[in-house]
Amino acid sequence: MTFLIDGGVNNNLLSNAAVLNPNPDAVEEFRILTSNYNAEYGRNGGGIVSVVTRSGTNTFHGSAYDYIRNADFNANSFFNNEFGLPKDTLKRNQFGASAGGPVLFPKFNGRNRFFFFVAYQGQRQTQLQSTSKTQVFTPAELNGDFSKSNASGTGPDTNVVKFLQPYPYFQPNAALAAQGIIDPAKINSIAKNYIKNNLLTTSPTGFLASQGSAQDNRDELTEKVDLLITQADRLTVTLGSSRNPTIAPFQFANIPGYPNDGFVNH
């Protein structure tokens, strides 16, 4: 896939994804080409997404907007209800503005010749997000009983059975070892108490879900100037910048002993 902005290539050299995604108020038109390209197109064998940004005109014009979302009207999810978690909160503020017109200086009138356009969009989003489910010990397994811990919940965990066969220290009774039952006296008491206090689930499926704070903040700026040299020649300069620092919640966020601040990406 090839991404073009005002005729220039907008592909990341490493990932081939689009480098800059101009906000909607900065887009004049876009086209998606799939086949029978003209000679001016090339680079990749897939489709082409061509975007033309807006230009200034002889009159000043602009826009401003602000979209706000929150969790007041959202229902809780099925899995949050299953694990007794509150509904995920979402605070999202997406705002922006644009302005364009002729370039005017003292003793210089850019009308009919020299134009500018600039558009900005920002986003501030904070969300209490449920992480993916993690299977932890059930109360029976915490006491060494893995007799119902296979995938269907009807038989022993074969990995535990294989472990107990060469190590009878953890279960001297061969019949119990064949059922995947570890001698509770051989389980480390410190580890057992920690798991009991922090990593037990109320779900009968043996899964644990946690919640952590996630952030997705964005700043995107598109700037463009047009100079009409003659009726047939135009010089255009388009500049763009984008910043997107995000924080993803850690797998075991809000569980004692585990970090809660998550992973930071830029």
Residue 16: how many other CB atoms lie within 10 Å? 12
Q: What's the total number of domains in the chain? A: 3
**Alpha-carbon span 36 to 4, nearest angstrom:** 17
**Alpha-carbon span 233 to 223, nearest angstrom:** 20
**Alpha-carbon span 236 to 25, nearest angstrom:** 18
Same domain for 205 and 266:
yes
Q: Is there a contact between 77 and 184 (Cβ–Cβ < 8 Å)?
A: no
pLDDT value of residue 74: 77
* DSSP letter, residue 203: S
> How confident is the prediction along the chain (266 residues), in pLDDT tens digits per residue?
899 999 899 998 888 889 999 999 999 999 998 888 787 887 777 789 999 999 999 999 999 999 988 877 778 888 788 877 777 778 899 999 999 999 998 888 989 999 999 999 999 998 876 666 677 777 788 889 999 888 888 899 999 999 999 999 999 999 999 999 999 999 888 877 777 766 666 666 667 666 677 888 999 999 999 999 998 899 999 999 988 888 776 655 555 555 555 555 54
Domain ranges, residue 143: 137-190
The token duo for 263 is 């992973």
pLDDT value of residue 56: 95
Q: Which of 213, 247, 253 is nearest to 127 (CA)?
A: 213
pLDDT value of residue 257: 54
Same domain for 96 and 209:
yes
* φ, ψ (nearest 5 deg) of residue 238: -120, 125
pLDDT value of residue 99: 97
Same domain for 206 and 130:
yes
Same domain for 114 and 240:
yes
* φ, ψ (nearest 5 deg) of residue 122: -125, 160
Same domain for 235 and 131:
yes
pLDDT value of residue 152: 83
Over its C-alpha atoms, the chain yields an Rg (Å, rounded) of 30
Q: Which residues make beta-bridge pairs with 41? A: none
Same domain for 247 and 125:
yes
pLDDT value of residue 5: 94
**Alpha-carbon span 120 to 96, nearest angstrom:** 5
Same domain for 114 and 208:
yes
**Alpha-carbon span 208 to 170, nearest angstrom:** 27
Same domain for 152 and 118:
no
Same domain for 173 and 42:
no
* DSSP letter, residue 126: E
Q: Which amino acid is at 21?
A: N
Secondary structure of 218-259 as H, E, C letters = EEEEEEEEEEECCCCCEEEEEEEEEECCEEECCCCCCCCCCC
pLDDT value of residue 198: 61
